[in-house]
């Protein structure tokens, strides 16, 4: 039997690259997606299903976390503005407090149920928007806490294949793994054509430019 892994799959380029890497490495993937009131929730969910279909992933979980709307972040609160002037110092307005910690906790429960020995997540520390829950020391601490709070025979590992990569390296990795990048979505604001100016779009476009490639998704011009 193939070893099971739970892949947290947002539908973005990073998490999708992780999913393809897992598939190519021979894992039996349990795909996990979260709807939490993000502005591009419908588009991200559409991407999730399209990617699962392409990878022939049958075991899928879609979890609704509506409480995030009460936590406060420009990703979920339309009264707050999405920053569009480029990456700034400090924690950006798009940070959703402890989002990855919550995602990993839920993924752990699913992993125990499914008998999976690992969780995979596409966090990127070196070339991200500066979110504290993307740091390697946080992930290591979460893994320790997870294994303290689960059955003795569970032994879950959190796998972060992209954590030290630059965006251009992730683009190259995606191409190498055969990722259908046209299925992915990274924009924080729009669901039809990517805005091109939010932090996520800027990082993605910069990655493609430095990799010497053209992003296949549509952008506002």
Mean pLDDT by 10 residues, the chain (221 residues): 95 98 98 98 98 98 96 92 84 93 98 98 84 95 98 96 97 98 98 96 96 97 75
Look at residue 25 and tell me if it is in a domain. yes
CATH of the domain at 110: 3.40.50.620
Please tell me the predicted confidence (pLDDT) of residue 61.
98
Look at residue 176 and tell me if it is in a domain. yes
How far is the C-alpha of 187 from the C-alpha of 194, rounded, in Å?
A: 5
Look at residue 217 and tell me if it is in a domain. no
Q: How many residues does the chain have?
A: 221
Q: Any residues with CB less than 8 A from the CB of 117 and at least 6 apart, and which?
A: 3, 4, 5, 111, 154, 155, 156, 157
Please tell me the predicted confidence (pLDDT) of residue 128.
67
Q: Are 58 and 29 in contact (CB under 8 A)?
A: no
Distances 45 to 1, 35, 62, 128, 193 between C-alpha atoms, Å = 29, 8, 9, 22, 16
Look at residue 27 and tell me if it is in a domain. yes
Range of the domain at 99: 4-211
Number of structural domains in the chain: 1
Q: What are the structure tokens assigned to 96, written together?
A: 């959703």
Look at residue 184 and tell me if it is in a domain. yes
Please tell me the predicted confidence (pLDDT) of residue 183.
98
Please tell me the predicted confidence (pLDDT) of residue 127.
65
| pTM > 0.75: yes or no | yes
Please tell me the predicted confidence (pLDDT) of residue 126.
76
């Amino acid at each position: 039997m193939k070893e099971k892994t739970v892949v947290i799959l947002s539908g973005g380029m990073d998490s999708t690259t992780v999913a393809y890497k897992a598939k190519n490495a021979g894992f039996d993937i349990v795909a996990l997606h979260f709807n939490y009131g993000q502005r591009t929730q419908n588009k991200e969910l559409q991407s999730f299903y399209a990617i699962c279909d392409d990878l022939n992933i049958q075991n899928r979980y879609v979890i609704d976390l509506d409480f995030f709307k009460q936590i406060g972040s420009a990703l979920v609160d339309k009264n707050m503005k999405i920053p569009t002037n480029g990456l700034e110092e400090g924690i950006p307005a798009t940070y959703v407090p402890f989002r990855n910690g919550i995602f990993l906790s839920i993924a752990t429960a699913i992993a125990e149920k499914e008998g999976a020995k690992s969780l995979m997540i596409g966090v990127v520390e070196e070339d991200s928007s500066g979110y504290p829950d993307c740091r390697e020391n946080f992930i290591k601490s979460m893994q320790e806490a997870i294994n303290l709070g689960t059955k003795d025979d569970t032994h879950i590992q959190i796998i972060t294949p992209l954590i030290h990569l630059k965006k251009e390296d992730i683009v190259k990795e995606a191409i190498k793994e055969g990722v259908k990048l046209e299925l992915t979505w990274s924009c924080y604001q729009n669901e039809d054509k990517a805005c091109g100016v939010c932090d996520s779009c800027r990082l993605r476009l910069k990655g493609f430019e430095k990799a010497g490639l053209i992003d296949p998704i549509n952008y506002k011009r």
